[in-house]
Every structure is written in C-alpha cells, then in structure tokens.
Amino acid sequence: MKPAFAVVIFSVCSILWGSSFAAAEEKSGGQNAGGEAAEDAAESREQRLAKYLSGTQFVGKFTIDGGDGTPKTETYTISSCEKLPSQDLYRFKTRIKYGSVDQEVPLDLKILWSGDTPVITLQSLWIPGMGTFDSHVLIRPGSGDAPGRYAGTWQHDDKGGHLFGKIVQLEADAAEGDSNSGDAAKNGGK
C-alpha cells in the first residue's frame, strides 16, 4: 500500500520557518516584549508553525530506491494542525487518498527543530490500515507569492526513497473538503 501522507509529513512534510524564526528571535534578543524568556519565543514559533501548516496542501514527487528512477506524484491535504501540550508533538488532521483509500486521519506527529528548521519526524509510526513508517521531512515556508517547500526521506518496510515538493495554502473551504486532495501515486508501496 502507498500511504503518501505518512511520507509527506508527511511526506507529511516540511516547513522551514528559517529566517523568519531567526529574525523574530534575534530582534527580541531571546526575549519577547513582555520580557519573558526564550521558552515563550519557542512556544510562539510552535504556534506559528501549526497555524502555517493548517489549510495547506503538500504537492510534489517521491522516488523509490531501486525503482525506475521516475519520480511519482503525491498530494496531501492538511486541514488542521495544532500544537499539543507534549513537547514537540502536533496533531495533524490529514486527508489521505490513494488507490481505494480515501480517509481523513488524525495523526499525532513529532516536529523537531534543527536550529530554526522544523523537521516532521516519524519513527516506526503505525498508521491503521496502512502500515508502519519512518520519515524525516524538512519544511521551508513560503515568502510573498513563492510557495513553501518540503524535502526529505521515507521508509515503509523494505521500500524507501526521497520526497520533495511545494507547500501551498488552500482556500478556507477547500481545506475543509477538497475532493481532489490527497491524490498519491497508486504504485510504489510507500
């Protein structure tokens, strides 16, 4: 089976707040206007990340190691993302559509930070009806009219590869019920 979502995030994903996080923290000198510690700045960047990911679609390609070399198309829709109380944990409400599967799934996923770069991290994550996945996806947010980008690696049992693409913001009504969202390659065994 090919649960493209697990890969994006997912293959689920990735969103690099990059310089926007660094600039905000640099301006405040590690403290916000109220004089609170960098811990509050980290909380703020986590909330900004969750807000950015809500109502997005990851549209891109994935490769399969040892395959024919032609990247296959994948699309995942994240209708909502919220930061959970547990450290580094976020809840994604995601639509996954591939083959005969078309379902919205809540997934609690870790997002770790490499400096100011968010990395969606799946380690032996079992998704009901789809299997167990490992994935690490870097995220870079868009700027102006430019879309955000994601890139990373994925593993599903003995198959694995790379993934990359654009992160586009959806219209509010599309994020709630886009019938074309979540299309993923039907072959490849991710």
pLDDT of residue 143: 83
Give the pLDDT of residue 122.
94
CB 96 within 8 A of CB 4: yes
Q: Do 52 and 15 form a contact (C-beta atoms < 8 A)?
A: yes
Secondary element (H or E) of residue 25: helix 18-28
Confidence at residue 85, expressed as pLDDT on a 0 to 100 scale: 95
**Using an 8 Å Cβ cutoff, are 74 and 95 in contact?**
no
Question: Which residue, among 55, 25, 51, has the nearest Cα to 38 in the 3D structure?
Answer: 25
- pLDDT tens by residue, 67-100: 887 898 888 899 999 999 999 999 999 987 654 6
pTM over 0.75, yes/no:
no
Q: Are 138 and 16 in contact (CB under 8 A)?
A: yes
CATH for 4-177, among 2.40.128, 3.30.1420, 1.10.1060, 2.40.50? 2.40.128
Q: What is the DSSP letter of 66?
A: T
The per-residue pLDDT for 184 is 36
The predicted pLDDT at position 75 comes to 85
Which of the residues in the chain have pLDDT under 70?
1-39, 42, 97-101, 172-190
39: amino acid identity, one letter: E
Helix/strand/coil for 172: helix
The whole-number pLDDT of residue 38 equals 65
